[in-house]
Amino acid sequence: MATLVRPEHALNADVTDQSSPAANVAAIVQKNAVAGSKYRVYKLLWSYNASPTSGRLYLQFGNRVVRDVHVTAAGPGFIPFCPPLDAAVGEAVAATLVGAGASVTGRLAMDVEVLAEGYGDDTR
């Protein structure tokens, strides 16, 4: 049976990092590796202000792409991860919403927490 991780076990619970760059520039939310800790990603949220030419959203743990989707319409969208996705201990996490046209602006947010090594290991 899975054990729920209580907020006091998290080093930095329920953090939402956001990126809102200029038109046709990738929106990137990156969390640098933390020795002895791991990141847990709960969801990605994004939007384009107009129809993207080549919209794409991907999530990386270290150098590995763990999720990669095409975004084909303007407006908001989100991907909840249930169960949440865990990076390895000491691994960086990055989400990227690619630039999608000369007049298209994208926004990206990632709900993530950093856990001390050993916390939450029995939930996967």
Ordered domains of the chain (ranges, CATH): 10-119 (2.60.120)
pLDDT of 123 > 60? The answer is no
Per-residue pLDDT, 116:
84
**How many whole angstroms from its chain centre is CA 68?**
11
Per-residue pLDDT, 121:
59
Per-residue pLDDT, 32:
94
The residue ranking higher by pLDDT, 66 or 11, is 66
The alpha carbon dihedral of 39, 13, 41, 59 has a sign of: negative
* Token pair for 84: 């949440």
Q: Beta 93-97 vs 55-61: how paired, if at all?
A: antiparallel
Q: What's the pTM value of the predicted model, to 2 decimals?
A: 0.82
